[in-house]
Amino acid sequence: MSKPCASEWLLSQNKYTTDLSGDPQLSGATTSGVTISVSSGKGGVGKTSVAVKLAKMMVANGRRVLLIDCDYNLSNTLLKLNLPVSNNFFSLISAEKEFDDCLYKEGNFHLLSGCNGNLELFDNGLEYDYLVIDIINQHRDKYDFVILDCPAGISRATLNLNAYSDYRFIVVTPDKSSVTDSYSLMKILSIRHNIKQNHLLLNKVSSVGQFKRIVKTMSETVGNYLNCQLSLLGGIQLATEAVDKFDQVLFQEGKSGLHKNFLNVLKRFDEEHSNRMSRHFPLRGKRMFDMDGMEYEVPQIS
């Protein structure tokens, strides 16, 4: 499959198109199986934590969610949930097991994890991104949302999975390498796949001022140099818990600042998604954001 054909095919699988004004338009697909890729330009930004937390919160809100760990041989989703590693992904693609038998299930939360150092998976040279897309196309109608925890960086697989997805959540931390690498990811998606819309989620934010500076830097750079739209999901505060206790705190519900941040992110996305599905697109302008109990305005990125 040539690169232009691959790009056209990936975009044809997407539920949404973009009109000449840059506004998203529903392309006639059903409301089930909406695909969200969670990506980052560099590793270590908390991408897997974000993907698992959002998936669990969506389920708590009554959604059916499939989370797929797309880091096929360095899987961390099971570890985040304090579950033993497995080779279920390899069992699925080698037809040793059926799809349902390869899932970890917790109510309406279903997880297809990757493997960890599987030599057969490493040596067989298969194009795992296309295998995952085939898996989604076969099973997406069973779910409200399919969340892809993508490998960090700008590999072909990561680019293809992002191009396929209906929404792209780019996780960025307040350091230069994360900002620069995330910009590179969006740049190549724009050039290679004509992807002009992404969502920005800032993680490990230590202050409102820092949050505003990163938003300003990324909005101006993406707008001026890529002519792309970047929708802001919000910020997640820098955790103060010990590293070995972080996952335990992360998945607790209640009044913690961390959980509140995620509630705000999910509420913002739900509102946008509902507007999109009803073909109602609010005017661009300023939006209110809340973090650490402080409300402030930032410009809508467009």
Q: What is the dihedral of CA 91, 87, 140, 157, to 10 degrees?
A: -100
pLDDT, residue 289, reads: 47
pLDDT, residue 117, reads: 86
The amino acid occupying position 236 is I
pLDDT, residue 258, reads: 85
pLDDT, residue 14, reads: 53
pLDDT, residue 29, reads: 40
Q: Which domains, and CATH codes, for the chain?
A: 31-299 (3.40.50.300)
Structure tokens at 63: 């959604």
* H/E stretch holding 54: helix 47-60
Residue 285: DSSP 8-state: S
* H/E stretch holding 202: strand 197-205
pTM of the complete model: 0.84
Weakly modelled stretches of the chain, pLDDT under 70: 1-31, 242-245, 254-255, 279-302
pLDDT, residue 4, reads: 40
| Cα end-to-end distance, the chain, whole Å | 34
pLDDT, residue 11, reads: 52
pLDDT, residue 10, reads: 54
Burial class, 147, CB count within 10 angstroms (exposed 0-12 / middle 13-18 / buried 19+): buried
pLDDT, residue 255, reads: 65
pLDDT, residue 26, reads: 36
